[in-house]
Amino acid sequence: MDQTNILVLGNNLISNLLRRVLIKNKIDHLNFAYPAQEPERRFFAIKPTFLKWYSDYFNEDLHNHYAIKHIQIFVDYEELNLKDTITRPFPLFNIMRSDYLFESFSRDLDDIDKTLKADEDLEFVFENDEVIFKNYQISSKLIINTDFRFNKFLKIKPEREEKKEYDEFAVTAIFKTDDNLDNRAVQYFRKGKILAILPFSEHEFSIVLSGLKKGDEKLVDDSGEQLINFIKQQSALASVELSSKINCFPLTLYKIKHDPKLRSLFIGDAGHKVHPMAGQGLNLGLGDIQMIDKLISDKRIIDFGQENSIKKYAMTRSVDESIVMNLTDLLDEALVNNSDVFSSLFKYPIKLIENSELLKKILVRKMI
């Protein structure tokens, strides 16, 4: 039987960055994944703290990013007064392309050790001191799963899953405009819908529109005309031109509660899915990697799958996960599902935020 320290499941941004971290720490590992899917060009809001960590850690910089230096937030038609002093001298976040990130995270990596069949039935046996991947007779001290599709094979009990299916869907798309976007992101909470406009150049931007329900399908026709009209109505943009296909996806809240005895970690989308209004899905996954690095760089730890290591990881990461998940779920309930009831009530906390620079900083850094 072949042996390895860590078995990595998945082939995506998170798994590739994880593999680079393992290689840097000289940790033996194998990577199994499903066949690669056709990548979609997407844009992510990456925190400046991650860019600094990446630069210091790998001694290389991530380029090709567009800095967001200003932000506007509207609730109904009332603008939250966010002074530029909240963001200066550093950007709030940087907009980056998915294909560039994938290329950067994959640098110098070998090919996947094994590409699995999409319909293959997998069997993992969890022992006290190892995990055995029976299909391929491989034992490891720890499984790190980055792909949600593997979850069903990893003995997750129902009580260890926190999930909620929203009666909503969201769309993403890319647009051009003649207007100068001026490093400014805008988020609108209006009439039960949430629209984020995220520029990635002076005249190009991506959107995330959530809070869509049955009957809103007309906004996502192939021509994009209805969606363009909607964006113009909500924003101050005079010209809007669709430059990509419109992608639709259902909204799900999901979180794994780790079992320290099962020698497995669930990170990235395998461990948590959040409402897209905060733009924090990928940032949570990047935070997962940074925490794993802290664990494996501890030279006192020989067995990475031991119970104490799993507990330490789960306790540390649950704080960030809970903040983002609870905040976005609360806002969705207040501003999408019960917008008529909560719209007037929501104005009072908005006034509180208006008078507190600290609360403004917290809201801005967690909302997009």
329-348 b/e (C-beta count within 10 Å ≥ 16 → b):
bebbebbbeebeeebeebee
Instruction: Map out the domains of the chain as residue ranges.
Output: 2-40+98-164+253-332
Using pLDDT thresholds of 50, 70 and 90, give the confidence band for residue 335. Answer: confident
Confidence of residue 341 (pLDDT cuts 50, 70, 90): very low
What is the mean predicted confidence (pLDDT) over 230-245?
94
pLDDT tens track for 272-302: 998 887 678 899 999 999 999 999 988 888 8
Burial class (CB in 10 A: 0-12, 13-18, 19+), 121: exposed
Report the C-alpha gap between 80 and 187 in whole angstroms: 10
298-328 pLDDT per residue, tens: 888 889 999 999 999 999 999 889 888 888 8
Task: Give the separation between CA 317 and CA 310, rounded to whole angstroms.
Answer: 11
The residue behind tokens 């639709």 is 248
3-state secondary structure of 125: strand
List the one residue out of 95, 85, 84 whose CA is nearest residue 48: 95
* Distance between CA atoms of residues 301 and 309, nearest Å: 9
- The interaxial angle of helices 281-296 and 48-58, nearest 10 deg, is 40
* Residues 93, 87: Cα–Cα separation, whole Å: 10
352 vs 66, 67, 77, 345, 346, CA distance in Å? 31, 28, 17, 12, 10
- Could you tell me if 296 and 24 are in contact, meaning their C-beta atoms sit under 8 angstroms apart? no
Strand partners, 210: 194
Contact (CB, 8 A) for 359 and 352 = yes
How far CA 251 is from CA of 3, 198, 202, 222, 263, in Å, comes to 39, 20, 30, 21, 29
pLDDT digits (tens, 9 = 90+) for 69-98: 888 888 888 887 665 554 455 678 999 999
Q: Are strands 65-68 and 114-115 parallel, antiparallel or unpaired?
A: unpaired
Cβ 228 vs Cβ 173: under 8 Å: no
Q: Coil, helix or strand for 146?
A: coil
Sheet holding 65-68, edge to edge: 43-46, 93-97, 65-68
DSSP-assigned letters across all residues of 206-250: EEEEEEE-TTGGGGG-TT-HHHHHHHHHHSS-S--EE-SPPEEEE
Architecture of domain 2-40+98-164+253-332: 3-Layer(bba) Sandwich (3.50)
Which of 327 and 245 is assigned the larger pLDDT? 245
- Token readout for 195 is 């629209």
Other beta carbons within 10 angstroms of residue 13's beta carbon come to 22
Mean pLDDT across the chain: 87
Instruction: Report how far residue 245's alpha carbon sits from residue 302's, in angstroms, rounded to the nearest whole number.
Output: 48
* pLDDT tens digits, one per residue of 198-229: 999 999 999 999 999 988 988 888 788 999 99
Which residues pair with residue 97 across a beta bridge? 43
Task: Reply yes or no on whether the pLDDT at 162 is more than 60.
Answer: yes
Residue of 2, 34, 24 whose CA lies nearest to 289:
24
Is 290 in contact with 282 (CB distance < 8 Å)? no
pLDDT at residue 345 greater than cutoff 50: no
